[in-house]
Structure 1
């Protein structure tokens, strides 16, 4: 009988050991209330290796825009346009019946007369001071009316003077310009004149010529 009891006890003990072995580690830990730190990660959720860097995604190189053709009208002008042939005529129209002449001689020492050449207006492009008058041709003789008005430049402003003072300064500018005192001056001996049909000057103003 003792032998049967001993065998039964051994069998019970063996069964209990088998039951403990069949329980997973989660069940054992769960029985004590402490979570297991050694639980295996579920399949497919394994953390990537710490040393492996993710492969860099190549950035697509942006395509350079195709150069847009300029419209036909955007070309720079050549800049070498020749002034129209009526440049001188247009300038003389602005004189309102007057004309610019360049004195070449005068009769200050003997009588009241002057010789002067006609001029033409020289305009751009590439002309300093927006154009100027140049003399040409043969001088003509001019006389002065009894009531002529005469002006000389004082600085840049025309000032009225007597005919005698005018003729004296003109004679100095023609033959001895160094004696002309500032603020007066000699500016190329050009004059804006108003004349009658007989070349009689009724108004004369000294002009600036660079």
Structure 2
């Protein structure tokens, strides 16, 4: 009986270590054309001034091959957003002029960092003039009227069949910036496969 317990304990340990190792990035080319934006923390952080940049696609690793993520993870450092940017996940479909959303935090997954809303939803108003963008694929967005973005976000939450190409429902995460009064002045859907 003791050898059966040892074998069971060994199998449990191997399974636990396999789970921890599964939290690492896949291949460097997994994003297709270089970087994948989105809820998995993608796209270039070096966007031009005034545009809503997204975090870098791949986590940074320590020289020598080790990673620096949460204990037991292999994702590397969490992505860093450009100054003034915040990731949010709408809690209910946006209505004309306002949105309730949770702050979205990066979480290490087997597919790299993915954003998820956490905590209590905060109430946001939209500025008078808003730059809105919807994701059209990996690293690509299309500027749209903010009302179209509200309808898209609502459809993704309540009726995904209503969403037509080139758009898709890709994680319900948005990169926002706010003005001095706390009103949303830019909002960009973050693409995730």
Structure with max Cα Rg:
1
Q: Counterpart in 2 of 1:73?
A: none
Q: Is the 8 A contact 1:104 1:174 kept in 2?
A: no
- Cα distance in 2 for partners of 1:163, 1:200 equals 13
Matches within 5 A, 1:136-147: 136-147=118-129
CA drift at 1:171: 1.5
Question: Where do 5+ consecutive residues of structure 1 fail to align?
Answer: 1-77
Change (3 A) 1:138 1:198: farther
Structure having the larger proportion of residues in strand: 2
**Residue aligned with 1:136, SS:** strand
Residue by residue over 1:16-41, the C-alpha shift from the partner in whole angstroms, topping out at 9 and shown as x without a partner, is xxxxxxxxxxxxxxxxxxxxxxxxxx
Q: Counterpart in 2 of 1:112?
A: 97
Higher relative contact order, chain-length normalized (CA < 8 Å, sep 6+): 2
Q: TM-score of the superposition, structure 1-length normalised? A: 0.52
**Residue aligned with 1:170, SS:** helix
Change (3 A) 1:134 1:105: same
- Cα distance in 2 for partners of 1:201, 1:155 equals 23
Residue by residue over 1:57-108, the C-alpha shift from the partner in whole angstroms, topping out at 9 and shown as x without a partner, is xxxxxxxxxxxxxxxxxxxxx98688347x9xx6464332201100121343
- Runs (4+) of structure 1 exceeding 4 A deviation are 78-82
- Cα distance in 1 for partners of 2:100, 2:116 equals 16
**Residue aligned with 2:166, SS:** coil
- Cα distance in 1 for partners of 2:127, 2:135 equals 21
Q: Is the 8 A contact 1:118 1:135 kept in 2?
A: yes
Structure having the larger proportion of residues in helix: 1
After superposition, the CA RMSD in angstroms is 2.8
- Cα distance in 1 for partners of 2:107, 2:136 equals 25
